[in-house]
Amino acid sequence: MTSTAVVIVSNLHAVYGKNEVLHGLSLTINQGEFVGVHGPSGCGKSTLLHVIGGLHHSFSGSLAVAGMDLSLVDQGDILRLRRESIGFVFQDAFLINEFSLRDNVELPLVLQGVNTSERRQIVDNTLSEFGLLDQAKKFPHELSGGQVQRGAVARALVNNPSLVLADEPTGSLDRENGRIVMTSLSRAARDRNATVILVSHDEEALSYCDRTIELLDGVIIE
């Protein structure tokens, strides 16, 4: 069976501020792969993730994500790509404090125009998967740190994105919650056929990946 490339990077250079932090990277990541990116602080891991996710625009070279060449499209196209095809998980959960957990997880479906009854069923199923259904009406400040981060992963996966980008998602979690988060990301690749790219310093988190890529000073170490 032929694999479908979801991310194709060729000769990618990226600038952060006045400094070039990625120096001619090339890589291909296929549908359903769970790929870890690791390396010392400042090596360009998060910048690579942000460029792939359409969050960082100061780059040159070729970058195709889910069949879209990000160097050739406008911001409207990139916004649609992020809304419809990419789920983000960061070390800070970035849940909306004024929204309940249910409303936070439901938000990607609202933006996609999914009808109310279908949204409710999808959100219930997703919250149940993360052991959070009984917390659905609570607000972020009423939840534990682990519950908040699990809610952030639930939000990233609720609309079945083809690509999930996770930047140090276990960085502020204890081991038990870290394992729950990593198991959920691994399941997304295995059961939902999503492509997952994980940036992490955590060796245990990286052990869930199909393969890992090491960066050093903005280049890939073979």
| Domain CATH code at residue 43 | 3.40.50.300
Residue 36 has pLDDT above 50, yes or no: yes
pLDDT at 18: 85
> How many percent of the chain have pLDDT more than 70?
98
pLDDT at 222: 67
Residue 64 has pLDDT above 80, yes or no: yes
Residue 180, domain member (yes or no): yes
Residue 118, domain member (yes or no): yes
Residue 52 has pLDDT above 90, yes or no: yes
- Spell out the residues 6+ positions from residue 171 whose beta carbon is closer than 8 angstroms to its own: 91, 200, 201, 202
Residue 95, domain member (yes or no): yes
Residue 70, domain member (yes or no): no
Residue 66, domain member (yes or no): no
Instruction: Give the CB-side neighbour count of residue 40, counting CA atoms within 13 A.
Output: 5
Taking residues 45-62, what's their average pLDDT? 92
Number of domains in the chain: 1
Average pLDDT, the chain: 92
Residue 143, domain member (yes or no): yes
Q: What is the tens place of the pLDDT at every residue in 15-31?
A: 988 889 999 999 999 99
Taking residues 207-220, what's their average pLDDT? 95
Q: Say if CB 206 and CB 36 are below 8 A apart.
A: yes
Residue 15, domain member (yes or no): no
Q: What is the tens place of the pLDDT at every residue in 130-172?
A: 889 999 999 999 999 889 999 999 999 999 999 999 999 998 8
Residue 2 has pLDDT above 60, yes or no: no
Residue 98 has pLDDT above 90, yes or no: yes
Any idea what DSSP says for residue 2? P
| Domain that residue 108 falls in | 32-54+82-221
Residue 1 has pLDDT above 80, yes or no: no
Q: Say if CB 37 and CB 45 are below 8 A apart.
A: yes
Q: How far apart are CA 185 and CA 216, in angstroms?
A: 25
What are the DSSP E strand ranges found in the chain?
5-16, 19-30, 34-38, 59-65, 68-69, 86-90, 163-167, 195-199, 211-216, 219-221
Residue 98, domain member (yes or no): yes
Q: Say if CB 104 and CB 151 are below 8 A apart.
A: yes
3-state DSSP assignment of residue 30: strand
Q: How far is CA 14 from the centre of its chain?
A: 19
Dig out the tokens for 160 from the structure: 């079945």
